[in-house]
Amino acid sequence: MSRKESIKKLRDQLIRRRDALHRALEGDLSLLRELHQERTGDILDAAADTVQDELNSQLIEAESRELTAINDAIARFDNGCYGNCEGCEKPIPLTRLRAIPYATDCIDCRRKAERMTTKGGAVMWNRVFDNVEADPV
């Protein structure tokens, strides 16, 4: 399969993933609303609700961030620059794109960026992706 064909396949995958995330986010949000409505005022229940809300909001945040990344990637397809590194402008290897279809940089540029960035939410988020990619093939 040519790179062009592989990338076309990745676009389909991204669109399916985006639709699934949309549905998940809608589900999570309605669940959150239900939790708020069911509050009884009991302190233990309220504490449990807070923990649950916290978990839900973290999940929603992670899903929202992925959704943003996917939408950006789909926009890059439309611009014709999908699959090229934003750092060095070289084509991102297909193995990396298959692991992270919304990757915007190659591994070299990602590592360079990580070395320069101090520890923070964004870096931790990128680490999650790199761990996925580090799995043996």
DSSP 83: T
Site string for Zn ion, 105-134 (x = CB under 5 A): -x--x-------------------------
CB 18 within 8 A of CB 74: yes
Residue of the chain from 47, 88, 122, 132 that contacts Zn ion (CB under 5 A): 88
How far is 121 from 127, CA to CA, in rounded Å?
A: 10
Q: What angle do CA 122, 7, 111 make, to 5 degrees?
A: 30
How many residues sit close enough to Zn ion to count as binding (CB under 5 A)?
5
Which two tokens mark 48? 């449990």
Closest contact distance (angstroms) between CB of 110 and Zn ion is 8
Asked whether position 48 contacts Zn ion by CB under 5 A, the answer is no
Asked whether position 93 contacts Zn ion by CB under 5 A, the answer is no
Q: Provide the binding-site residues for Zn ion, judged by CB under 5 A.
A: 85, 87-88, 106, 109
